[in-house]
Amino acid sequence: MKKTVCFAITVGVALLTFSCTKNPDTPDTEAGNWVRRGTLDGPARSGAVSFVINDTAYIGTGFNQNVQTYKNEHGDDLIKNGFLRDFWKLNMPPVSEGNTQENYTWTQVEELPGPNGFRAYAVGFNIGNIGYVGTGMSADRYTMLKDFYAFDGTKWEQKADFPGSPRQYAVGFGFGSRGYITTGDDGANTQKDNYQYNPEDNSWRAVTALSGTKRQGASVFVHKNKAYVFGGYSSFDKVTDMWAMDSATLKWEYKGNLINELDDSRDDDYTDICRQYGSAFVIGDYGYYTAGDNRGILISSTWRYDFANNQWARRTPLERAARTKALGFSVHNRGFVGTGATGSQAMDDFQEFMPNQTVDAAD
């Protein structure tokens, strides 16, 4: 669906807060390099969703108060009160072709349907080669959503509603033949319940709730047969515990706090891992965590999580503008971060993290 109209007005974006501290004496280690990979053809945005199907990344929905009018080729609105419903797929080479923005282009696909297609702060994930989107905040700015949709790369189909309370800032992930939605904010409470979606019969069931602290604005790594949920905040306070769910047993295993040392010694050199609305992706046997905010202060520090040894290590900070509520995704075993917001300015750029390169600020 081709966009035809897009122009801006100026409105601010508020950031929610929680508390964590950073030791200013700890230098960032310049291990790895961030490389520009072009910009989204559609409007800039924060609070969008992404999923990967058939080795192709798709992104959509989100919020940009600065865009007043935006329509598809049929004249249908793609934005309402700042909330978007458009979707795009990323065209890219399967392997990195050096430090270039060429050959990274976007193709607009069918927008999320229905009167509540306009949304932000939803969840997106894939089960096999089908992408799913659900929950989030509607364009009226106060109604939480629980409707749920599947996308096959061409068309959307509405599925059974999420059975938990309508919510925003939840975590969604898929592994094996099932999908999951957990945590989030339903307007009355922060949650840690957990529901499993079965695409074979279009059904949901409650499964073991997340152990530890309830939270919203959390992040997730999916690696092999486990999903690792961490970060976020609860009642405007930091959430530092990390938990991994096994896809076979559906049980949660405590993985420690978000620090480098996992014994009784707590080193505050590492507490700047703590954040809300961070961006996460996986490359090989490591997870990477960057961007987000802390007490409304934007964070650029990047951390690598070693799944085998259950340890964090500092890596090169995200380059270009610091941001929160940005996308993080992996495709072709490569990690990308893009969109998000810095203050009142929504972002549309994308960067790839090259873990084995030496940092080069000119890339």
Over residues 165-184, mean pLDDT: 97
**In this predicted structure, what is the pLDDT of residue 3?**
41
Domain residue ranges of the chain, discontinuous segments joined by +? 6-354
Closest CA relative to residue 129, chosen from 232, 56, 230: 56
**In this predicted structure, what is the pLDDT of residue 238?**
79
pLDDT at 267 over 70: no
pLDDT at 293 over 60: yes
Each residue's pLDDT tens digit, 81-129? 999 999 999 999 988 878 888 899 999 999 999 999 999 999 999 999 9
Closest CA relative to residue 361, chosen from 333, 319, 303: 319
Closest CA relative to residue 229, chosen from 216, 238, 220, 217: 220
pLDDT at 265 over 60: no
Written as one letter, the residue type at 190 is T
Q: Is 41 helix (H, G, I), strand (E, B) or coil?
A: coil
State how far the Cα of 178 lies from the Cα of 204, in Å rounded to an integer. Answer: 10
Which residues pair with residue 246 across a beta bridge?
226
Are 220 and 173 in contact by the 8 Å Cβ rule? The answer is yes
Which residues pair with residue 145 across a beta bridge?
167
The model's confidence at residue 276, banded by pLDDT at 50, 70 and 90, is: very high
pTM for the structure as a whole: 0.90
| 23-to-195, 238, 300 alpha-carbon distances in Å | 38, 16, 15
**In this predicted structure, what is the pLDDT of residue 272?**
83
**In this predicted structure, what is the pLDDT of residue 259?**
65
Over residues 280-285, mean pLDDT: 98
Task: Report CA 81 to chain centroid distance, whole Å.
Answer: 22
Each residue's pLDDT tens digit, 39-56? 999 999 999 999 999 999
Each residue's pLDDT tens digit, 217-245? 999 999 999 999 999 999 778 799 999 99
Average pLDDT, the chain: 89
State how far the Cα of 269 lies from the Cα of 208, in Å rounded to an integer. Answer: 33
The model's confidence at residue 30, banded by pLDDT at 50, 70 and 90, is: low
Percentage of the residues of the chain whose pLDDT score is greater than 70: 88
**In this predicted structure, what is the pLDDT of residue 269?**
55
Read off the tokens for 37.
Answer: 């990979």
**In this predicted structure, what is the pLDDT of residue 98?**
81
Q: Which of 4-13, 135-144, 166-175 has the lowest mean pLDDT?
A: 4-13
pLDDT at 268 over 50: no
HSE (side-chain half, CA atoms, 13 Å) at 10: 1
Written as one letter, the residue type at 45 is R
CATH topology of domain 6-354: Neuraminidase (2.120.10)
Tokens 């009226």 found at: 140
Over residues 339-361, mean pLDDT: 93
Each residue's pLDDT tens digit, 324-335? 999 999 999 999
**In this predicted structure, what is the pLDDT of residue 333?**
96
